[in-house]
Amino acid sequence: MKIIPSENYDICIGGGSLVHFDFSDYSNLAILVDGNTKEHCLPLLLVQLPSLSNSLIIEIESGEENKNISTCSWIWEELSKHNFDRDSLLINLGGGVIGDMGGFAASTYKRGIDFIQIPTTLLSMADASVGGKLGVNFSGLKNQVGLFKNPKSALIYPKFLETLEKNQLNSGFAEIVKHALIADANLWNQLNTTSFSNVDWEDIIARSIQLKNKIISDDPFEENKRKQLNFGHTFGHAIESYYLEKETPILHGEAVFLGIILELELSNITRQEKSEIKNFILSNFALPHCPPKSEIAKYLTNDKKNQSGKINFSLLSKIGNCSVDNLFSIDEL
């Protein structure tokens, strides 16, 4: 097991990670699951931690469309109904939806109870469970209501990935590729030369989290360096919104891969590096069609990072390095 110390909590990765946390100090325990994590992950968790068998199980419906205030209300009602006091703990067992929403529900219930993250998708293991961004979608806008708060611990157990669908695994890989491209040329070279069917998840997730953890520790509230994590996400979010509005949503990581390919063209790296990255992505991952610029322009011009009417990109300055606040008008794209 690897332990990565973060701001005020530990991120534990690997075989012994689930037993690393002391649950005995809490008056009440609840485990938040969705239908898939209840079926595939809860049994595995309880084998390792039989002492959690008496926990309250709060089950929500899976999917991004349920990451909203009414699901939160229901979580708060369940906690209230079972007399959860301020010394209680919420255990978020699931992907980024469970982690973001469970963390938000816990942090606001009775002005805040403790929570831990037990991520079960590659995206949540390698990215979402770290960094303290919590929240729900509101009024048609993603993550519109939320806050920053760290969990008491993040316990990452890669064995959960064995039941994850291939497209979800691919989606999580996009954030790992992004972390390598913006901050670690060695990791990029390793990814570029390793067979995707033969990945050592524990090692790759640990290295990916270490890179994110370093960036967010230096800039927890996204004043400067943390903006590097937006590489691939300006075009990526516009493409994600386009497909959402068409009611044919695509996965976050699929949009990020398309966003990386488009933002490479704006980056100040060599033509050879651009084609190396593009070939890696296109030969390993089946991606949806990339909409033309005219179809996504309205989302780009409404991006919340825009400054003085210009679109704000984080771009590669070389592989393993990223520059922030690169401004382009829509006509320059």
Ligand X SMILES: NC(=O)c1ccc[n+]([C@@H]2O[C@H](COP(=O)([O-])OP(=O)(O)OC[C@H]3O[C@@H](n4cnc5c(N)ncnc54)[C@H](O)[C@@H]3O)[C@@H](O)[C@H]2O)c1
Tell whether residue 133 is a contact of ligand X (CB under 6 A): yes
Give the residue with the Cβ less far from ligand X, 95 or 184: 95
Residue 320, judged by CB atoms within 10 A of its CB (0-12, 13-18, 19+), counts as: middle
CB atoms within 10 A of CB 266: 16
Residue from the set 48, 68, 143, 213 that interacts with ligand X by CB under 6 A: 143
Strand pairing partners for 112? none
Of 46-54, 69-77, 125-133, 317-325, the window that binds ligand X (rule: CB under 6 A) is 125-133
Nearer to ligand X, 45 or 84 (CB): 45
Residue 119 pairs in a beta bridge with: 94
Residues, the chain: 333
Residue with tokens 């960094």: 131
Window 278 to 307, contacts with ligand X (CB under 6 A):
none
Total binding residues for ligand X by CB under 6 A? 30
Residue of the chain from 14, 95, 232, 259 that contacts ligand X (CB under 6 A): 95
Q: Are 23 and 29 in contact (CB under 8 A)?
A: yes
CB atoms within 10 A of CB 54: 8
In the complex, what is the shortest distance from the CB of residue 64 to ligand X, in angstroms, rounded to a whole number? 5
Least distance between ligand X and beta carbon 50 (Å): 20
* Contact residue for ligand X among 92, 124, 312, 326 (CB under 6 A): 124
What is the spatial distance between Cα 300 and Cα 250, in angstroms, rounded to a whole number?
A: 18
**Which of 109, 107, 104, 118 shows the shortest CA–CA distance to 33?**
118
Measured CA to CA, the distance from residue 264 to residue 31 in angstroms comes to: 41
Query: Rounded to the nearest whole angstrom, what is the least distance from the CB of residue 62 to ligand X in the complex?
Result: 3
CB < 8 Å & 24+ apart, contacts of 321-325: 321/182, 321/183, 322/181, 322/182, 322/183, 322/228, 322/231, 323/268, 324/224, 324/225, 324/227, 324/228, 324/230, 325/227
The contact pattern for ligand X, residues 57-86, with x = CB under 6 A and - = no contact, is: -----xxx--x-------------------
Residues from 3 through 62 that contact ligand X (CB under 6 A): 34, 36-37, 40-41, 62
From 18, 45, 58, 94, residue interacting with ligand X (rule: CB under 6 A) = 94
> What are the residues whose beta carbons fall under 8 Å from the beta carbon of 271, sequence distance 6 or more?
none
317 Cβ contact partners less than 8 Å away, ≥ 6 residues apart: 267, 268, 269, 323
- To ligand X, the closest distance from the beta carbon of 137 in angstroms equals 8
What is the nearest approach in angstroms of ligand X to the Cβ of residue 219?
Answer: 14
Task: State which residue, 98 or 296, has the beta carbon closest to ligand X.
Answer: 98
Q: Write down the least CB distance from residue 313 to ligand X, Å.
A: 18
Position among 13, 49, 115, 131 found at the interface with ligand X (CB under 6 A): 131
Q: Which of 30, 60, 71, 100 binds ligand X (CB under 6 A)?
A: 100
Paired tokens of 230: 């937006």
Strand partners, 50: none
Binding mask 238-257 for ligand X (x = CB under 6 A): --------------x-----
Stretch that binds ligand X, among 4-12, 115-123, 254-262, 325-333 (CB under 6 A): 115-123
Which one, 84 or 96, has the nearer CB to ligand X? 96
Q: How many CB atoms lie within 10 A of CB 50?
A: 9
Taking CB under 6 A as the criterion, which residues in 159-218 touch ligand X?
A: 160, 163-164, 168, 171
List of residues contacting ligand X (CB under 6 A): 34, 36-37, 40-41, 62-64, 67, 94-98, 100, 120-121, 123-124, 127-128, 131, 133, 143, 160, 163-164, 168, 171, 252
